[in-house]
Every structure is written in structure tokens, then in C-alpha cells.
Amino acid sequence: MYTQGLDTHGKEPLPTAAEGEARAARFQGRIDAEEKIEPKDWMPEAYRQTLIRQISQHAHSEIVGMLPEGNWITRAPTLKRKAVLIAKVQDEGGHGMYLYSAAETLGIPRAQMLEQLLSGAAKYSSIFNYPTLTWADIGAIGWLVDGAAIMNQIPLCRCSYGPYARAMVRICKEESFHQRQGFEIMLTLSQGSHAQRAMAQDALNRWWWPSLMMFGPSDADSMHTGQSMRWKIKRFSNDELRQRFIDVTVPQAHFLGLTIPDDELHWDEATQHYRAGPIDWSEFYAVLKGNGPCNRERLEARRRAHEAGRWVREAAAAHAQRSQREPAPQAAGVGGVAGAAA
């Protein structure tokens, strides 16, 4: 059930060491048997904390991710593109909501997650700290950023934690439109005037490397990979997923007639993979630490939105309280629930 209210964790007597070990072994046994873990099931505290960290960061990424794209809603080149972009940004908000719900089942209140985001304590995907300078960036984001996200997220549909896996199934279904609309923007630009082709190439130049960094540090430096794989939160390593993304994306760039900004990129006949040049991880860590081009601006925008919306939330709460005191004649018109079992 999707509620922290039913979560009894914390009230239970602490297991003795022997009991704890037996439980942990039983838990790992369930994971190994591909059973899903559900919110009220016993789980090791570290499993719970890992999921809270990952799911809330994922939710924050969706919410902050609305900003770079929202930047172009008023300047979309046609009414169709504007409608599509609004729908996409709304989807990102929805994805954030699914994920906050899933994280809440682990016992963390939503208000606390929001607080972590707004205070700057929580991380979100480094990609959203880059600016969207031209319309082509909206194409590049859909094609590359959502493409990389899909590559990351499809294995998460089989994650061992039920609510996260279910949220990811829903999200992946919706992401496919995001990627395709982005590619279509790039396609249109790449078949356009010289200036439009140049704009598409410029967007690819700026988004390519940050997109590769979205998969996280290389396996050798990844702090969380090993345990997450044993718990089946993660199914593939960062480098595996990154390679897969490169392999599918390079031919798409060729189709567009665009050049991947990597002099060392080449096809390796022996392994049947594209080999990319080294990633500048100092840039990744700088952005992660808060020194990307837009870190401060993004958080400022979130804080402003949160403050600007405060009176609406307060008014809604006051209205709900008054309705409780003086119920309207047909309040809560959810009729038909009774007797509708099955």
C-alpha cells in the first residue's frame, strides 16, 4: 500500500544479531528469487535508505528538469511544438509525482523531500544544470537526455522494490514520446537552412558529453553499484548502459548528418561497439558540487515557485478545513463507491 501511515518500521523491537542475520538472509533469498519487495515487508535499513536516496533524487530530477524546457514554452516556433512541449513538461511533473509517491512508501514524508531539494541538500541529475540556449536544445534534450534516461530507466522497471518498479513502467511508457518528439525537432532542423543545421550541430556539441555523464561515474569509481546490483535495484552498471546508449545514438546522429563532438569516437570491429574518447569527469564533479552553469538559477527558480505557490496551498487547506466544519450538500461526490466492490 502506498502510505507511510501503514509503515510500522521503527516501532518494532530491534532484532538481535542472530535474528537480524537470518532476516537479512531471507530477504536476500527473496531478491535472488526475483520476488518483489513491498512497502510493509521487512527490509534492511540500508536497502530502505538507498532507495529513498535514489528515488527522491530521481523525483527531484523530474521536477528540476521542467525548468530548462519550460524556458522555451513561450518561444516554441509553432503552435504544435508549443502544445507538445507543454505536454512533455507536464509529463515531467507527473513523473516527479509518481516517484515522490513511491519514495513515501519507504517512510519519508513528501514535505521532507521537498525541503531537502529546496535547501540544496538533495542531489538531482547533473544534466539539468546546463542552459537551453536555442530551440535546438529542446530537440537535443528530447533525443539525447530523454534517450539516456530511457536507457537508464528500462532496467528499473524490473527493480526489486515494487512501488519503484511500477512507477518506472508508467514513466517509460511516457518517455518514448519525449524522445521521439526531440528527434523529430532535430530532424526538421537538420533538413532545414544552413543556419538551422548549424543550430542542431551546436546543440549536439553542447549536450553530447553531459548526456554521457548522466549514466554516472565509471564503474571503477561508482560508490553504489555493487550493493545495488546485489539488491537488484540496479541491473546493469553505469558503463554498460553508457556503452549501449553510445551504440544506439551514433547511427542516429549519422542519419541526421550531424557530427558527434568526439575526435576519438570510432567503430571497433572486434567488439562490434562504438568506442568513445575519455570523459572529462572533473566537469561532472564540478556540476555535481553545485558549480555547473545553472545550479544556482535552478534552485532559485524552485524556491521562488514554492514561495509563490504558498498562498494557494494555504487557501486550499483553509477551504478544506471549512468544508469539514460545514459540509456542502453533495460534498465529496465520489458516489458509487459503495456496493461497487469488484
Partner 1 sequence: MTEADWPLFEVFIRSRSGLEHKHVGSLHAADARMAIEHARDVYTRRQEGVSMWVVRSADIIASDPEEADSLFEPARDKVYRHPTFYAIPDEVKNL
Residues that bind partner 1 in the complex, under the rule CB under 8 A: 1-6, 38, 40-42, 87, 90-91, 94, 97-98, 101-102, 104, 109-111, 166-167, 174, 310, 313-314, 316-317, 319-321, 323-324, 331-334, 336-337, 340, 342
Nine cell digits for residue 177: 514520446
- For the purposes of burial, counting CB atoms within 10 Å of the CB of 91, is it exposed (0-12), middle (13-18) or buried (19 or more)? middle
d(CA 324, CA 328): 9
Nearer to partner 1, 2 or 267 (CB): 2
**Rounded to the nearest whole angstrom, what is the least distance from the CB of residue 330 to partner 1 in the complex?**
10
**Rounded to the nearest whole angstrom, what is the least distance from the CB of residue 142 to partner 1 in the complex?**
17
Q: Where are the beta strands (DSSP E) in 40-148?
A: none
Nearer to partner 1, 109 or 226 (CB): 109
d(CA 200, CA 189): 6
Sequence-distant (6+) residues with CB within 8 A of 298 are 64, 67, 128, 129
φ, ψ of residue 105 in degrees (nearest 5) = -65, -15
Nearer to partner 1, 109 or 120 (CB): 109
d(CA 307, CA 322): 24
Sequence-distant (6+) residues with CB within 8 A of 192 are none
Nearer to partner 1, 96 or 210 (CB): 96
**Rounded to the nearest whole angstrom, what is the least distance from the CB of residue 3 to partner 1 in the complex?**
4
d(CA 339, CA 323): 26
Sequence-distant (6+) residues with CB within 8 A of 214 are 125, 126, 127, 145, 148, 149, 152
d(CA 88, CA 6): 34
Nearer to partner 1, 41 or 247 (CB): 41
Nearer to partner 1, 266 or 313 (CB): 313
Nearer to partner 1, 4 or 205 (CB): 4
**Rounded to the nearest whole angstrom, what is the least distance from the CB of residue 140 to partner 1 in the complex?**
24
- For the purposes of burial, counting CB atoms within 10 Å of the CB of 210, is it exposed (0-12), middle (13-18) or buried (19 or more)? buried
**Rounded to the nearest whole angstrom, what is the least distance from the CB of residue 63 to partner 1 in the complex?**
13
**Rounded to the nearest whole angstrom, what is the least distance from the CB of residue 319 to partner 1 in the complex?**
7
Nearer to partner 1, 177 or 285 (CB): 177
With b meaning 16 or more CB within 10 Å and e meaning fewer, what string describes 143-168?
A: bbbbbbbbbbbbbbbebbbbbbbbbb
d(CA 2, CA 40): 9
Nearer to partner 1, 275 or 313 (CB): 313
H or E element at residue 92: helix 79-104
**Rounded to the nearest whole angstrom, what is the least distance from the CB of residue 12 to partner 1 in the complex?**
9
**Rounded to the nearest whole angstrom, what is the least distance from the CB of residue 35 to partner 1 in the complex?**
12
**Rounded to the nearest whole angstrom, what is the least distance from the CB of residue 87 to partner 1 in the complex?**
8
Residue 322's alpha-carbon distances to 143, 239, 328, 329, 335, in angstroms, are 48, 55, 10, 14, 21
